[in-house]
Amino acid sequence: MNSSSISDNFKVAAVQMVSSTSVDDNLETAMTLIDQAVSRGAELVVLPEYFCFLGRRDSDKLKMRENPGTGAIQEFLLAQASRHKIWLVGGTLPLACPDAGRIYNASLVYSPDGAQVARYDKVHLFSFRRGAEAYDEAVSIRPGDNRPQSFFAPCGRVGMAICYDLRFPEFFRALGDVNLIVMPAAFTYTTGKAHWEVLVRARAVENQCYVLASAQGGTHENGRRTWGHSMLVDPWGEIVAVLAEGPGVVSGAVNAQRLLEVRQSLPALKHRTM
């Protein structure tokens, strides 16, 4: 499927949240924001990384893990996709893995009929230390093995990525030709302020596609502060819509004509030699 045969103006939305330690509260918030996105005409909705739970300690994720195909979080995602007849990228949720002390940080995609059509387990695990601020995802997360992943929607081929993947351009190149990249994220305030926008826009420019990034954005119950700035960026690197902070929805459209114009005027993808 190429840019000339896709839906002309496929409406998409990114949900931004400030998730807490309560799964029930987070699902309620996600449902309200999905409703808002659908009311704006969204046909594909992306939830942020850790939309369902952001605990006080790394080990808290282990208590929330689900087995593939069963559990309250997966049932919620399936129900929302079916209810609204939308493509739903379920942010990330903790899924069981072979390591008893870790989980997969998994992103699941549901089609409008409620079928799970794709799964991507995060492969790049974030580690950062500056003064008192420190993170190490490898403590509780096992890197995935199923890379790269994509699925087909009415806007064409959609590539999947999660948060820290954003810093690895070779990962996105390995996706091949895509019309849209969806990226749930929870960038820290420190790293997001420095690099988020430039990296999101760079990935759109390099791959001549739209990027829909759905972020956590605010000060959380556990004291962590995330950068937010969920955004939709077009294949020329222009920001279509952005939300700086707080819960809300960013919406726009994947426009087939815009994809075609950018790729014809600057056919960089055809000029690759490696």
Q: How far apart are CA 212 and CA 234, in angstroms?
A: 9
Q: Quick check: 55 pLDDT over 90?
A: no
Q: Which of these is catalytic: 52, 97, 155, 163? A: 163
Q: How far apart are CA 61 and CA 94, in angstroms?
A: 6
Look up the CATH number of domain 9-271: 3.60.110.10
Question: SS3 breakdown of the chain: % helix, strand, coil, rounded to 5?
Answer: 30, 30, 40
- H helices within the chain, ranges in order? 23-39, 60-64, 72-84, 169-173, 189-207, 256-265
Q: Which two tokens stand for residue 198?
A: 């430039």
Q: Which of these is catalytic: 49, 66, 137, 245? A: 49
pLDDT in the model for residue 5: 57
- H helices within 146-267, ranges in order? 169-173, 189-207, 256-265
> Is the bond into 148 cis (omega within 30 degrees of 0)?
yes
Q: Which amino acid is at 158?
A: V
Q: Which two tokens stand for residue 202?
A: 């760079």
pLDDT in the model for residue 250: 98
Q: Which of these is catalytic: 43, 52, 61, 122? A: 122
Sequence-separated (6 or more) residues with CB below 8 Å from residue 176: 148, 150, 157, 159
Domain spans, the chain:
9-271
pLDDT in the model for residue 8: 92
122 belongs to the catalytic site: yes
198 contacts 228 by C-beta, under 8 angstroms: no
Residues 145-159 have pLDDT tens digits of 988 999 999 999 999
pLDDT band for position 110 (cuts 50, 70, 90): very high
46 contacts 68 by C-beta, under 8 angstroms: no
Residues 215-270 have pLDDT tens digits of 999 999 988 999 999 999 999 999 999 999 999 999 999 999 999 999 999 999 99
Q: How far apart are CA 273 and CA 11, in angstroms?
A: 34
As a whole number of angstroms, the longest Cα–Cα distance in the chain is 52
Q: Which amino acid is at 227?
A: W
49 belongs to the catalytic site: yes
181 contacts 161 by C-beta, under 8 angstroms: yes
pLDDT in the model for residue 56: 84
pLDDT band for position 2 (cuts 50, 70, 90): very low
Q: Which amino acid is at 138?
A: A
97 belongs to the catalytic site: no
